[in-house]
Amino acid sequence: MFLKNIITNPNVSIGGYTFYHDFSDPYNFEKYNAGYFPESHLGRLIIGKYYSIAHGVLFLSSVTNHPMDGFSTYPFPALGGRALGMSIAIRIRAIQL
């Protein structure tokens, strides 16, 4: 299905020939695959003209609160335990440099 024909969110822009495949209902793309771009959010999702998007692909934005003050935006704290300690130690070292 060509996504451009079903997108209603002004923060999501899809090129004319970008194709999306979904095993259940492709009309739920905005809800399940691009749900982190609410109309009240300043961020935008822009996808070009000739892309093929597979079932289950999830697009994220800055509203998902990835840490921006470290060496990586990977959410190490989400792993819990030891990974959390490593994330904090790495951030401290990065700030000290």
- Give residue-wise pLDDT tens across range 44-89: 888 999 999 998 888 877 665 656 666 666 666 665 555 544 545 4
Comparing 49 with 35, the larger pLDDT belongs to 49
Q: DSSP letter string over 56-84?
A: T-----GGG----SSS--S-GGGG-HHHH
Strands 12-14 and 45-47: parallel
Provide CB contacts within 8 A for 9, sequence distance 6+. 30, 34, 37, 38, 39
The yes-or-no verdict on residue 90 having pLDDT over 70 is no
Contact 3, 53 (CB under 8 A): yes
Burial environment of residue 58 by CB neighbours within 10 A (0 to 12, 13 to 18, 19 or more): exposed
Grade residue 97 by pLDDT with cuts at 50, 70 and 90. very low
Instruction: Answer yes or no: pTM beyond 0.85.
Output: no
* Per-residue confidence (pLDDT) for residue 17, from 0 to 100: 92
Tokens encoding 6 = 């079903």
Tell me the average pLDDT across 33-50. Answer: 78
